[in-house]
């Protein structure tokens, strides 16, 4: 069901022309900085993949992919990608990328099961990136190092926006705060997962929550994660589990946390087998992607996605992702948004 947050007294700080200029400047500057920080080269990515090969991202495992038949392949089904988490790892192997280097791409997707609101659209655009790592780098410290590099690019980009549009004052703190999802639960035991995200992000401005996908001490997951890309079940020295997480910033326009990136160290053979068993999805071992991983043909890697429209929405202080991208919205939402001073493209 669609839902609209209407900030009291909202008025965009930029007109349509300024907004478009800002979007282009942000995208150009940020991806260049991301590439430099992580040593990534740009590659071309697919919009769709063949169904039944295990390449498409399963997200939480319940979202349906948009499918269509291919006439010249005997009506074999293709799926619009949800993200490129698995495809990127195959590409690292095929391109024989060296340790310490990686790839990034512009990923466009359609998520028809998305519940539409200020942050969620049918159309998804993000920078998907993946980098080859050494087996000994499967640590929380290495995960944090990569997060800090990405966050440094975000801070620099916010200052670029301020130079272009002085009315938009920088808000990001210089350092990002790290916390494990179990620690977050212990800090706010009476709040829901989303309320805990709001509370911690309001306090620190920018937060990386480690450990997304495994059950916490209350028997619930902080959030869902598919079993076959991020490693969310490996025990860590601090007594928790998980080598993945979400990067959130405080959205002062909406008064909520805003997730900008989901990322993590990817499953190795042991983690994949463990997580397939935990989620009762061991039949996936026979799929193309999973076979290659289990047979040792894919490199160890770390990777993630960074929402392009969400990033622009945050920097340009917009109240709705539809002020950044063109998509389909319920007519009732468009009408309500107009009345609240929010003009959807």
Residue positions annotated with a catalytic role: 57, 111, 126, 246, 259, 262
Contact between residue 107 and residue 82 where contact means Cβ atoms under 8 Å apart? no
Q: How many residues comprise the chain?
A: 345
Q: How many Cα atoms are found within 13 Å in the side-chain-facing hemisphere of 159?
A: 8
Helix (H, G, I), strand (E, B) or coil at 324: coil
Q: Give residues with Cβ within 8 angstroms of 145, minimum separation 6.
A: none
- Cα gap 131→103, rounded to integer Å: 6
Whose CA is closest to 191, among 230, 153, 220, 150? 220
Residue 101 CB-density burial (10 A; 0-12 exposed, 13-18 middle, 19+ buried): middle
- Cα gap 337→321, rounded to integer Å: 12
Q: Structure tokens of 123?
A: 């159309």
CA distances from 73 to 67, 69, 77 (A): 14, 8, 9
332 secondary structure, DSSP code? H
- Cα gap 118→323, rounded to integer Å: 10
Q: Structure tokens of 103?
A: 């790839």
Q: Give the DSSP letter string of 168-212.
A: S-----SS-EEEEHHHHHHHSTTS-HHHHHHHHHHHHSEEEEE--
- Cα gap 147→313, rounded to integer Å: 20
Q: Structure tokens of 167?
A: 């009315």
- Cα gap 138→146, rounded to integer Å: 12
């Amino acid at each position: 069901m669609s839902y609209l947050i209407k900030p009291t007294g909202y008025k965009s700080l930029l007109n349509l022309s300024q907004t478009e200029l800002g979007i282009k400047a942000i995208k150009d500057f940020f991806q260049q900085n991301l590439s430099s920080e992580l040593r990534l080269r740009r590659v071309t990515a697919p919009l769709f993949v063949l169904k039944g090969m295990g390449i498409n991202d399963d997200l939480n495992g319940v979202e349906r992919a948009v499918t269509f038949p291919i006439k010249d392949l005997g009506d074999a089904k293709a799926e619009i990608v949800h993200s490129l988490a698995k495809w990127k790892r195959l590409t690292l192997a095929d391109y024989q990328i060296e340790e310490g280097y990686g790839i990034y791409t512009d990923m466009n997707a359609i998520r028809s099961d998305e519940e539409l609101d200020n942050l969620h659209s049918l159309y998804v655009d993000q920078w998907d990136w993946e980098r080859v790592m050494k087996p000994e780098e499967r640590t929380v410290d290495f995960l944090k190092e990569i997060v800090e590099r990405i966050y440094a690019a975000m801070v620099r980009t916010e200052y670029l926006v301020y130079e272009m549009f002085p009315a938009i004052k920088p808000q990001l703190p210089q350092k990002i705060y790290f916390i494990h999802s179990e620690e977050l639960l212990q800090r706010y035991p009476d709040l829901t997962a989303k309320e805990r995200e709001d509370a911690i992000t309001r306090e620190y401005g920018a937060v990386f929550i480690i450990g997304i996908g495994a059950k916490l001490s209350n028997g619930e997951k902080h959030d869902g994660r598919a079993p076959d890309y991020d490693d969310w079940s490996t025990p860590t020295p601090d007594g928790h589990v998980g080598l993945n997480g979400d990067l959130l910033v405080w959205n002062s326009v909406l008064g909520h946390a805003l997730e900008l990136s989901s990322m993590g160290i990817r499953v190795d053979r042991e983690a994949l087998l463990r997580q397939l068993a935990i989620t009762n999805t061991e039949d996936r071992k026979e799929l193309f992607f999973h076979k290659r991983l289990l047979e040792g043909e894919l490199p160890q890697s770390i990777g993630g996605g960074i929402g392009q429209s969400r990033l622009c929405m945050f920097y340009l202080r917009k109240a709705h992702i539809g002020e950044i991208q063109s998509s389909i919205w319920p007519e009732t939402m468009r009408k309500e948004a107009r009345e609240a001073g929010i003009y959807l493209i």
